[in-house]
Amino acid sequence: MLRRILLLCLSLLPALCLPAASARKLIAPTSARPNLIVIIADDLGADDVGAFGGRSVRTPNLDRLAKEGMRFSRAFVTASSCSPSRASILTGRFPHATDAEQLHWPLPAAQATFVEKLREAGYWTAAAGKWHLGEDAKSRFDLVKEADPRGFQLPGGTTNAPAAAMTAQDNQSGCAEWLDTLRARPEGRPFFLWLAAFDPHRDYQTNAIARPHFQHDMEVPPYWPNIAAVRGDLALYCDEVARLDGFVGGVLNELDRAGLAESTCVVFLSDNGRPFPREKTTLYDSGIRTPLMVRWPAAVKAGVVCTNLVSTVDLAPMFMEFAGLPPLPGFQGVSLTPLLKNPAKPVQSHIFAERNWHDFEACQRAVRSARFKYIHNYLPELPDTPPADALRSPTFAALQRYRGHAAMSAAQQHCFIQPRPAEELYDTMEDPHELKNLADNPAFAPVLREMRELLARWRETTGDQPLAFRTPDEFDRNTGQPLPNRKRPRASKAEMLRQIQAPAEAADPAAKPKE
C-alpha cells in the first residue's frame, strides 16, 4: 500500500512543478467550468429577432439559440452607446465608473475585467471582429483578431467636405474571423471568446444578402413617418441583421461539429438599439433594451423565457461564477446565475442606465422598474439629436423634410424639441413606446418621488459625479457632417482632463493639483 501511494505522489509531481502557463493546459472544460462565448451585435434592436417578436426580419439561427436556451425579455444595456456599453460588460461596472463612459474613450489599464481573471484561471481568451475598446484592453486576451474599423469610423473633417459613407469594402460584417478564432483554441483548456460584429451598424448597402427584405414587410414605429423611404431604410437594416444571423449559425454549427455544444455557454446580445432616430443613444427602451439569450445545454433548460429585469452589468459576475471564481470587489452588478436555475425569482427590482457624449454632447440618467421608467435630463437645453450615422439616414431626412408639417405627430417631432423636459416618466406597460410623459401628472407624483430617490441613491452608491467638463459636439446637428474639432484617435478621459487643466495651471501655478 505504501509503495502504491509513493508511486502516485511521484506521478503527480511533474504537474505540481509546472509553471502557471503550463498548468493551464491541465484544466479541461467541464459542465461546472464551461467554455464561454459572447456574441455581440452592433446596433441590433431587441424586437428585431424573430424569437423576440420580430416579424419583419428572418433570423432562424438566433431563433434556434432562443429555442435551445433562455431568452430574457426585459434585459437592458447600461448605455445605448457602443464602446461604453462594451466596457461596462467587461468590467461589471456602470459606464461612469469605468472612465470610458464617452464614445471612443479607451478602457483604462487600471480597470479590471473578468477576461484576465478567466485567463489567470486557465481559460484561453480570444476576441474577433469589432473591437472599439482601446489598445490596453487587448492585453487581457491571448489573441485578438480585430476587424478593420476604417469603414465604420469617420475621420476628422470640415463642414465643407461631405462625410464618406460608413461602409467597409472587405469583411463588411466584421465576422469573417469568428470561425478561425474558434478553431484556434488549444486542446484541453476551456476557452472564452468575444465575437463582435459590425452588423447591423450603418451605413447600409443594397444586396448585402442573397434574399433581400422588402419594404412593404416593414413595421414602422409611431415616432417615424410611415413612408417608402423609411421602410426602405428598415429593409436594408434587416438585411444586415439576417447576415449577422448567418454568422451566428456558423458558430453554432461549428460547436456541434466539434462536439462542444453541451460544454459551451453561448451568450448573445446587442450593445444598444437600432441606429435610427429616437432609438440608439437614447434611454428609451428602443435604445437600451437588448435581445439577451443564454444557451448552455448542460445547465440551462431549453425554451425558457425570463421576464424579470436584468442588466448587462450583471454578466461579468455571472461569467466569474461559471468559472468558479469569486466576484471582483469593483463589480456593480449581480450574477444572473440564480435566474438560470429559477427564472421566476427576480435578482433585482430596478435597472439603471446612462447617456453620455456620443458624437454630440449629452447627459442623462434613467431608472426602470418592471412598469415605470424615469429619465433625468441634466442638459435639457439640448435637443435629442440622433447619433451622426442616424442623422445622415433616409429616416432622419424624412423627419427633416416633414418637420412642422400638420400631418407630423408630436412623437415624430421629438428630435427637434428644444428645450426638453428635465424629467420624464413613462408607464411602459400602458405606453410601450414611451410617448406620454407623466412627470407633470399629479396622479403619478408618488411614483416620480420614488424614482427620483432611487436614482439619487444609485448615483451616490456608484460614484456618479456631476459633469467634470463639457464635451463639444463633433458633428453638425442638422447635416451630420464632421466638424473641424473631430480628431482620431480620440483622446482618453485622462488626456482630455489634462488638456483642460493645462491652461488653468499655466495661468495660475497654485491651481495645479498637489501630488
DSSP string, 164-206: PP---SSSTTS-TTHHHHHHTPPTTS-EEEEEE--TTPSP--T
Cell of 410: 408630436
CB atoms within 10 A of CB 436: 14
In order along its 515 residues, the chain shows pLDDT tens digits of 334 433 434 333 333 333 333 333 334 555 579 999 999 999 999 999 999 999 999 999 999 999 999 999 999 999 999 999 999 999 999 999 999 999 999 999 999 999 999 999 999 999 999 998 999 999 999 999 999 876 555 555 544 444 445 444 457 999 999 999 999 999 999 999 999 999 999 999 999 999 999 999 999 999 999 999 999 999 999 999 999 999 999 999 999 999 999 999 999 999 999 999 999 999 999 999 999 999 999 999 999 999 999 999 999 999 999 999 999 999 999 999 999 999 999 999 999 999 999 999 999 999 999 999 999 999 999 999 999 999 999 999 999 999 989 989 999 999 999 999 999 999 999 999 999 999 999 999 999 999 999 999 999 999 999 998 999 999 999 999 999 999 988 999 999 999 988 776 666 666 555 54
Output the pLDDT for position 504.
Answer: 62
Cell numbers representing residue 347 in the block:
435578482
Residue 30 pLDDT: 56
For the packed helices 60-68 and 228-257, what is the interaxial angle rounded to 10 degrees? 50
Distance of CA 489 to CAs 130, 133, 190, 298, 312, Å?
16, 12, 35, 43, 27
Report H helices in 74-174: 82-91, 114-120
Crossing angle for the helix pair 315-322 and 82-91, nearest 10 degrees? 40
The reported pLDDT for the residue numbered 20 is: 36
Domains of the chain are 23-348 (3.40.720.10), 364-462 (3.30.1120)
Strands (E) in 102-153, as ranges, are: 124-129, 143-146
pTM: 0.91
Of residues 114, 170, 104, 115, the one with CA closest to residue 143: 115
Which residues make Cβ contacts (< 8 Å) with residue 256, sequence separation at least 6?
Answer: none
**What whole-number distance in Å separates Cα of residue 18 and Cα of residue 293?**
38
Report the pLDDT value the prediction gives residue 10, as an integer from 0 to 100.
Answer: 37
| Joined grid coordinates for residue 485 | 474639432
Nearest by Cα to 485 from 8, 156, 153, 99: 156
Helices (H) and strands (E) in the chain, counts: 14, 14
The pLDDT, as a whole number, for residue 17 is 36
DSSP string, 384-437: -PPPHHHHTSHHHHHHHHTTT-TT--TGGGGGG-SSPPSEEEEETTT-TT--S-
Q: Are strands 264-270 and 293-295 parallel, antiparallel or unpaired?
A: antiparallel
Which residue's entry shows cell 414605429? Answer: 221
Q: What is the model's pLDDT at position 503?
A: 74
C-alpha grid cell for residue 142?
A: 491571448
Supply the pLDDT for residue 488: 87
